[in-house]
Structure 1
Amino acid sequence: MGKLSTHVLDITKGKPGAGVKLALYAVDAAGNRKILKNEITNDDGRCDAPLLQGAEMLVGKYELVFAAGDYFAGQGVDLPSPRFVDEVVLAFGIADASQNYHVPLVVSPWAYSTYRGS
């Protein structure tokens, strides 16, 4: 069976984003979101367990929402108001629930990116 995982990389410091709050949502065909998990990244910028695995791992659309602005504010970064990067929403799909999907966030107060890992 596959699994879903994530991690956060703080490119302003070149280190893992520890203590970043995130939420995982399932998104139905009408665009309605259902919360599946709320997590906080550990010292390695990862969640302690997969976000989805086994019977939870289903084909479908999902969103990961990262509280990046709150993380940077907590790091003492001088941020504008409103914040340029605040909540980062990564919308993605799982097409094959038997595969591993790793959806990381590479982030600064001014930019972010992601990619599909395994």
Structure 2
Amino acid sequence: MSFSTHVLDAVTGRPAEGLRVRLEHDGRVVAEGRTDDDGRIKGWTPGAGVHRVVFDTGAYLKDTFYPEVVITFTVTDPGGHYHVPLLLSPYAYSTYRGS
């Protein structure tokens, strides 16, 4: 199983570079890092089950209603790829299962 994310800053229309992200499974951090200059993290391999990806939006955005965005998802195909994009602004966010 592989996991990736892509964070876009809807205010600037640019990738969210340097945003801290962590991936949790069963209450433990299994991966953490920062988005690259294209707003991406890729190559994490957390395994099957229920996971939480946590975006530290409060450290990235100056004024935000959401200091943290948490997306919980289930990995049902251990051999599959799971891509969870995030479109971010100070007062809204959107996500979906990407490819």
Which residue in the other structure is 1:96 paired with? 77
Give the number of the structure whose residues are more often strand, by fraction. Answer: 2
Aligned length: 99
Q: CA RMSD in A?
A: 1.2
Question: Unaligned regions of 5+ residues in structure 2, if any?
Answer: none
Q: In the alignment, residue 97 of structure 1 is paired with which amino acid? A: P
**The structure with more radius of gyration:** 1
Q: In the alignment, residue 39 of structure 1 is paired with which amino acid? A: G
Which residue in the other structure is 1:30 paired with? none
Residue 113 of structure 1 aligns to a residue in which SS?
Answer: strand
Which residue in the other structure is 2:49 paired with? 60
Please give the alpha-carbon distance, in whole angstroms, between the structure 1 residues aligned to 2:87 and 2:43. 19
CA shift for structure 1 position 58: 2.0
TM-score by length of 2: 0.93
- Select the residue among 51, 59, 68 that pairs with 1:70: 59
Q: In the alignment, residue 42 of structure 1 is paired with which amino acid? A: D
CA shift for structure 1 position 5: 0.6
Residue 13 of structure 1 aligns to a residue in which SS?
Answer: coil
8 Å CA contact 1:69, 1:109 repeated in 2: no
Give the number of the structure whose residues are more often helix, by fraction. Answer: 1
Regions of 4+ moved over 3 Å: none
Which residue in the other structure is 1:115 paired with? 96
1:26-81 deviation per Cα after TM superposition (whole angstroms, max 9, x unaligned): 03xxxxx111111000100012x4121xxxx42200001001121012xxxxx2xx
TM-score by length of 1: 0.79
